[in-house]
Structure formats: structure tokens, C-alpha cells
Amino acid sequence: MTPPKKRIAILGSTGSIGQQTLDIVRANPDRLQVEVLTAQNNADLLIEQAIAFEPNAVVVGEEKYKYVKEALQKHDIKVFTGADALCQVVQMETVDIVLAAIVGFAGLRSTIAAIEAGKPIALANKETLVVAGALVTALAKEKGVNIYPVDSEHSAIFQCLAGEFHNKIEKIYLTASGGPFRGKDTKFLSSVTKAEALKHPNWSMGAKITIDSATMMNKGLEIIEAGWLFGLKPEQIEVIIHPQSIIHSLVQFEDGSIKAQMGLPDMKLPIQYALFYPQRIASTFKRFDFAAYPSLTFEKPDMQTFPAIQLAYEAMKKGGNLPCVLNAANEIAVGAFLNDEIRFNDIPAVVEKCMNKVNYIATPSLPDYIASDTEARKEAQSLTKKKISL
Ligand code: NAD
Ligand code: MG
């Protein structure tokens, strides 16, 4: 007997992860059904997706609401707008799983709302755990909700842990490609352009995470994300540069044994694993060819040139609202860099200054996180406007 279709809400369906999730739905029409699609600005793509997948509801940013509503009026699809609507659609009875792929702090509230309604989460939006990991993981535990990682490194760790849940993790290694500026020095980084920073060697992703990969802040965010997902201390998490992006991460157990998960870099694999866990579904994804990769190499990260990793360790160690401040300052600094307002090296500098400036709160509530996010954004904005220099 075929199991019933999983009805999925895709938050951020027009993004890189959202579109790849829809590719998986297209390849598995008997297993998946789209219940909700959401996007902020890309109305035309959202309309196209809605017509193709016929969800029950879509949510779009306010500026595009009228346009989308008119375009879909002949279809049996509800159209909503606003942050509250995002929180409501994920709670609908007809939603079986929520794929959280909004970028940044903007994804926090809807993910919390989904957990509150007891919906399993396939989590791409790492910022949710960076900002409010304590609150989100406690709520998930209380509601008995599973959070399945979509981030490739965390999916790799999760896959390595299959059958090992009673065995203690000694440490994990998060692999990083090193981004487009691996091996460069601070002087070189001071003059890199937006176009250079947006050229990731191995992955095609949204603009924000691509810049985060170039500064290595992405790995910093992933350290904090891994801490919450797997209950690890900062000293149990090590970053290792692996330029080929074939080994997606590793777990070292107490007997010294290391398990790694590997494959070609393709986000569809971790997305699909999160959606169907614990089952592995047959796929036509390109297979790995050992002859094409005669050597897989590893090196230590250069934390002097890429201070973002250290900032993340510091935020994780001090905890409280500091990771939230780091995240907010980073979002503003990345936006300013993409707007040609600041230089590449100013990104971690803005983050560090904000971490030192914003008031520390040891055990923040959700309103505290929201206030810290706002305060850090304001501080970061004033720094980027002043064009601070290193
Ligand atoms: P993206 O920029 O391509 O897409 C972001 C999506 O979020 C879009 O659909 C956009 O409409 C929506 N969105 C943006 N701002 C919003 C707002 N204020 N309110 C509501 N919706 C909003 O980003 P992406 O690369 O798909 O990444 C999404 C998330 O997944 C990020 O948290 C990223 O760190 C994580 N992630 C991405 C990859 C990847 O390969 N792209 C890998 C690992 C993790
Ligand atoms: Mg990742």
C-alpha cells in the first residue's frame, strides 16, 4: 500500500533552497503535495509555482500582494500577506511538514509558530537556531517536534548519527570549502568586489549565504547551529577546510572512530533526506566518480584572515543574546556590502563592534531576542553609514 502523500509548506519557495525543494516534489508527485508556498518579492516566480503546484495557500510580501492576488484569482488558491499570515499558514491542519527556507531572522517567527503547532521542521534557515537556539530547541522538546537539518554539514552529521544515538559524540568536524578567497590575506580581502565575493567555487546559493561563505561567517553560524542541533559545546566543534566539498562533515566518537558522509555537492540530497527521514528515497542525482577526485584535501582554517569564525565561537561561548546580535549585525553588514556601502573586511568589523556595544542579556525571552535584533540592526546601520574603516 502506498503511504499517503506528505503535505508540505515551503517557506521561501522562490529561493535557492525553495526551488530545489520543488524539484524534489516534481520528481516525487506520488509522495509529496505542496500545501503552502511563500515568498517576499519574486511575485512572478511565486505565481508560476502556485499555478504549477496548486497549493492551498500562498503568502507574499505586502508590496506584491495585490499583483499576486489578481494573478491567482481564477485559481482555488488563498493569497495572504504579512508576518502573521506566515505564522498562521504553517499551523493549518493540512500541513504535515514545514520546510523553513526563508533567509535570516525573518524566518524565526514562522518556524516557532510551526513548532508550536507540532509540525516537524526541515530546517534550512540556520539563523533561527543562531538567534534563538535555546528557546527553539526547548520548545521543540516540549512539543515533541523533530527538527531535521537541511544544511548540508548538519545533514551529514545527522546521517552519521543514524544508529549511534546512544553513543557519545567526542567531537564533530564541520567541513568548509573555504569560499572564493581561500588562501588570500587581509590586504587582498580589503579590495575584493561584490562580483568576486558572489562567485562561490562549489555551491550555487542565495546572495546572503554566498557572502557569508566568502567571509566564513556561514561556518560561524553553522558552529552555533550544530551546537543546538546536537547538544555540543564549542570545544567539541572544529572547522576543517576541505576545498572539494565532497565530505560534508564528520563525527568522531569516544572510541576514536570517525564517520563521514560524502557525495557531490548538491543540496537536493540533504533536503530530500530531511523530508523523508528515516527513509532514503531513490534519486537520479548525479553520482560521485572517484576517478574524478583523485585527492580530497584538508587544511586548518585561517582565523586571523577570516575573523568571523572566532566571533561566532565567542558568541556561542558567552551565549544569551550575543549570537542574535552577531546575526543581526551580520545581516545588515552583508546588505551594506551588497549595496556597495562598505568594504568586504568591514563585514566582520561591524559584527565585532555591535557585539561589544549591544546590551548583554543572559537568558532572553522571545521579546528580548526581537529587541536585541532591532538594537543590533540600528547599531550596525549607524556603523555602515559612517563607513567605518579597519
Ligand atoms: P534565497 O535568498 O535564495 O531565498 C530566500 C527566500 O526567502 C526567498 O524565497 C525569499 O522570497 C524569502 N524571503 C526573504 N526575505 C523574506 C522576508 N523578510 N519574509 C519572508 N520571506 C522572505 O536564500 P537561500 O539560499 O535559499 O537560503 C535560505 C536559507 O537556507 C538561509 O537561511 C540559508 O542560510 C539556508 N541554506 C541555504 C543553502 C543553499 O544552498 N542555498 C544551504 C544551506 C543553508
Ligand atoms: Mg552549510
Q: Tell me, what's the pLDDT at 387?
A: 65
CA-to-CA dists, residue 70 to 41, 59, 67, 77, 388, angstroms: 16, 14, 5, 11, 45
CATH code that applies to domain 319-383: 1.10.1740.10
Q: Tell me, what's the pLDDT at 2?
A: 75
Each residue's pLDDT tens digit, 69-104: 999 999 999 999 999 999 999 999 999 999 999 999
- Ranges of each domain in the chain: 6-149, 152-265+291-314, 319-383
Each residue's pLDDT tens digit, 186-216: 999 999 999 999 998 888 899 999 999 999 9
pLDDT > 80? residue 168: yes
- CATH homologous superfamily of 6-149 equals NAD(P)-binding Rossmann-like Domain (3.40.50.720)
Beta-carbon contacts of residue 13 (< 8 Å; ≥ 6 apart): 19, 21, 22, 37, 38, 39, 46, 49, 101
Q: Tell me, what's the pLDDT at 390?
A: 43
CA of 110 to the centre of ligand 1 (A): 13
Ligand at shortest distance from the CA of 265? 1
Each residue's pLDDT tens digit, 269-295: 999 999 999 999 999 999 999 999 999
Q: What is the rounded distance in angstroms from the CA atom of residue 85 to the CA atom of residue 89? A: 6
Contact 173, 252 (CB under 8 A): yes
pLDDT > 60? residue 220: yes
Q: Tell me, what's the pLDDT at 388?
A: 54
Give yes or no on whether 6-149 and 319-383 have one common fold: no
CA of 151 to the centre of ligand 2 (A): 5
Q: Tell me, what's the pLDDT at 346?
A: 97
pLDDT > 80? residue 247: yes
Cis peptide before 278 (omega within 30 of 0): yes
Q: How confident is the model at residue 3 (pLDDT cuts 50, 70, 90)?
A: confident
The DSSP bridge partners found for residue 68 are none
pLDDT > 50? residue 354: yes
The protein residue whose alpha carbon is closest to atom 22 in ligand 1 is 40
**Average pLDDT for the chain:** 97
Cell of 224: 552555533
Does residue 24 line the site of ligand 1, with CB under 6 A?
no
CA of 28 to the centre of ligand 1 (A): 23
Q: How many CB atoms lie within 10 A of CB 246?
A: 18
